[in-house]
Each structure stands twice: as C-alpha cells, then as structure tokens.
Amino acid sequence: MMQIQSLQIPAHQVYGFASLVAPGLGHFLQRMPFRGVLWLMGALTLWFLLYMSLLEGIHGGGTPYSLVAILVAFYHCVSMYAAMARSYQAQRDLAPAIAVQEMMPVYLWKQVLGGALAVVGAIAVVVWSGALADYASAWFTRHAHGGWWHRPAWGQFLSQTALLWGMTALGGWLFWTGRKEREGALQAIRERAVVAHALQHGGRITVAEASMVAQIPLHEARTLLESLVLERHAIESEQNGIVYYHLTN
C-alpha cells in the first residue's frame, strides 16, 4: 500500500503547484485568504513591473527587464514552496529543515524552476518583441518623412533579448533534465512495488498484477517485467495459459 501511495501526487504538492501557476492560490485552497491575498498582490506587482520595464527598455531606460523576469519566475517558485511547506508541516508536524528534504525530490525542483524560467522568459520575449516592433515601425515611419524620433536602444535590445532567450533555454534544459530524472525515479518505484508484491506471493507475479500494483497500463507492465527478465532478475513461465514471472534473486 505504501508503494502504491508513493506513485500518487501528495496533497501538499497539489497546493504547491496551484501557487506555482497563480501565487496565493495554494493558500486560498488551504483556507488562508490573508496569506493568499499577500502572495497574489506581490505577483501582480512584479508582473506589472515586468511589463513596464519591457516598454521602458525600448527607450534605453528603466529597470533591466531580464532581471525582473528572473525575479518573477523565482517569486512563483517561492510562492509554491510557501504553500507546500504550510501544508506539509501541518500534516507531518516536522521541523522546517526536515520538511524541506522530504517535501519534494530534486528532479521535481528542477522541473518547477525550469518550467517557471522558460514560461516567464518566453512571455517576456513575446511582449518585448511586439512592443519593439510597434516602436520600430513608428520610428521608421517618422524618420522616412524627415521627422525626428528617438532612436531605439538597439544595443540594449540585443543584450537583453539574448539574456531572455538564455533564461528561456536554461529553463527548458532544467525542465527536460528533471523530467528524465523523474522518469527514472518512477521506474525504480514501480520496480520496487512489483518486486515487493511478488515476494509476498511466493516470488511470482503476472502482468495484470504488476499493472495494478504499479498503476500502469498492461503493455507498460509487460515491458517492465520483460526488462526484469532481460536483466536476469526474473524468469518467465506459463501455466494453464497464464504467464508468470518468477523472481530469481
């Protein structure tokens, strides 16, 4: 039963993911509206600052928007952690240091941080590119008619855009790395669940049983058991038309 529960998404992670998408939402779901409002107002302030910095960046001034974009991404992650920590500590009654270690595995942090960086970076690039296109169009139109217009800050545009794309690429790489590590971790959990079930039933298991224990489709359960056979951890036999997999060690 413990093996099966480990394959499910814990309640504290649900609250965390809610606040990752919309800071404060996880606290609202936990019936803590005051904390939820504080986190939500902070997010709206940062997003507004990012939008304004993108517009001001065209004129060569204002706050560096690449830094603001990173702050927005980290704010979402911190909001996720805050909502998750409140739920986790309330359920387990653990010290903060222990809760941090047990709350989320490293691969999930990579996915969360990478996803936040990639999404915020991509949004910033789209907004910045659209605003610059409008400004450049107006500048060229005015310049063609002999009028005077402030030149776009092309140097800052190139450097800040490179930073935003670098942020987006880094986020995508972190997310992909975390996802690969997550697949490996889930595979190990499923294998342990299947082996534990087999040991409790005389060292043998069927595809249907493996599917139920590991909570995966039948074809994935068959693949998992066949991988144990290939690694010489199990042997395959048939009795009365039913295929059994027997553990060897």
- Contact in structure between 197 and 245 (CB atoms under 8 Å): no
Predicted pLDDT at 125: 81
**Residue-level pLDDT at 216:** 86
Element (H, E) at 189: helix 154-200
What six digits make up the tokens of 214? 């590991």
- Taking a C-beta distance cutoff of 8 angstroms, is the pair 243, 235 a contact? no
pLDDT at 94 (0 to 100): 54
Neighbours of 193 (CB within 10 A): 22
Residue whose C-alpha is closest to residue 209's, from 169, 247, 155: 247
- pLDDT at residue number 214: 85
Residue 206's region, left for phi above 0, alpha for psi from -120 to 50, else beta, is beta
Report domain extents, the chain. 2-175
Is residue 213 a contact partner of residue 3, using CB atoms and an 8 Å limit?
A: yes
What's the pLDDT score for residue 63? Answer: 63
Q: What is the pLDDT of residue 203?
A: 87
Q: CA 202 to CA 199: how far, in whole Å?
A: 6
Give the span between the Cα atoms of 209 and 191, in whole angstroms.
Answer: 13
Q: Are 174 and 166 in contact (CB under 8 A)?
A: no
So what's the pLDDT on residue 28?
93
> What is residue 148's predicted lDDT score, i.e. its pLDDT?
47
Amino acid at 5: Q
pLDDT tens for the chain, 249 residues long, are 434 444 466 777 888 889 999 999 999 999 999 999 999 999 999 999 888 887 776 555 556 777 888 899 999 999 998 888 888 776 665 555 455 556 777 888 888 999 999 999 888 887 777 666 656 665 555 555 555 445 555 666 677 778 888 889 999 999 999 888 888 888 888 888 888 888 888 888 999 999 888 888 898 889 999 888 888 888 888 888 888 888 886
- What is the Cβ-side half-sphere exposure of residue 66, based on CA atoms within 13 angstroms? 13
Q: How far is CA 209 from CA 194, 231, 243, in A?
A: 8, 20, 11
Count of beta carbons in the 10 Å neighbourhood of residue 158: 10
